[in-house]
Amino acid sequence: MKRNRRFALVLLALVALAGAGCGNRRDGYDYGGGTDPGSSSAVSVKSGVVATDSWGYTASTPVPVAAPAQAVITLASRSLLVDGSRTALSGELPSTVSFSVDPTTLPTAAQSSVPSGFVCYLDLSVATAQTAIPAASVTVDVGSALAGTTVTASRYDAGSRTWLAGPSAVVGASGTASFALADLAVWGIFKAGTS
């Protein structure tokens, strides 16, 4: 009997440890009754880890961030990832990047204010970090049909429930557009001049 109880306790401890660390910055987020983008098959999601030293700096070489095939995200060497209080984060930081061309997979609040000209969106998440210093290099495949078109990356601001225009880029012949994005947030890519 003692042996079974001990086995049960060990098993319970292992299950608890396996579940520790599960979740992401979306835990507790109010989607306003809408869809959690991470739960839709219309969303490509890639998770990984970004390592920082005890001071919060990334490696001395550029650091790729795990991302869906439609995006390439690179942190510059010796980047800092800081939270909302501007505290540098250190350790093995879980990252999640989501990509979709379907605006209905955005959080409901963001869906209600999507400007015209929507092309796609990226949701960049690294632990509780809100900002990368310097800005991350982000290249997004928006499709070769948009080659030569100017697109703008706009960050969704949940506080004001608006999209804030950021940098613009001209889509190359291969269908990609590149941006320097400091905020780790939901970024929509829009055809410029259509909103």
Asked if the model's pLDDT at residue 23 lies above 50, the reply is: no
- Residue 131 to residue 57: CA distance in whole angstroms: 13
**Hey, what CATH topology would domain 29-191 get?**
Chondroitinase Ac; Chain A, domain 3 (2.60.220)
Strand (E) or helix (H) holding 110: helix 108-111
Q: CB-based burial of residue 189 (10 Å sphere; 0-12 exposed, 13-18 middle, 19+ buried)?
A: buried
| Sheet order of strands, 91-100 included | 44-52, 91-100, 118-126, 186-191, 150-157, 162-170
For residue 37, pLDDT over 60 is answered with no
Place of tokens 């920082």: 52
CB 183: neighbour CB atoms within 10 A? 19
% residues pLDDT > 70 (the chain): 78
What confidence tens digit (pLDDT) does each residue in 125-161 have?
999 999 999 999 999 999 999 999 999 999 999 899 9
Which residues have CB under 8 Å from 185's CB, separation 6+? 123, 124, 130, 155, 156
Q: Give the integer Cα–Cα distance in Å for 189 and 171.
A: 11
Neighbour-count burial for 63-83, b at 16+ CB within 10 Å, e otherwise: bebebbebbbbebbebbbbbe
- What pTM, to 2 d.p., does this model score? 0.77
Examine the pLDDT at 53 and tell me if it is beyond 60: yes
Tell me the pLDDT band of 25, cut-offs 50, 70 and 90: very low
pLDDT at residue 10 is higher than 90: no
Segment 63-71 shows an average pLDDT of 97
* Domain-wise residue ranges, the chain: 29-191
In the predicted structure, residue 46 carries a pLDDT above the cut 60:
yes
Amino acid, res. 53: D
**pLDDT at 84 > cutoff 70:** yes
pLDDT given at position 108: 81
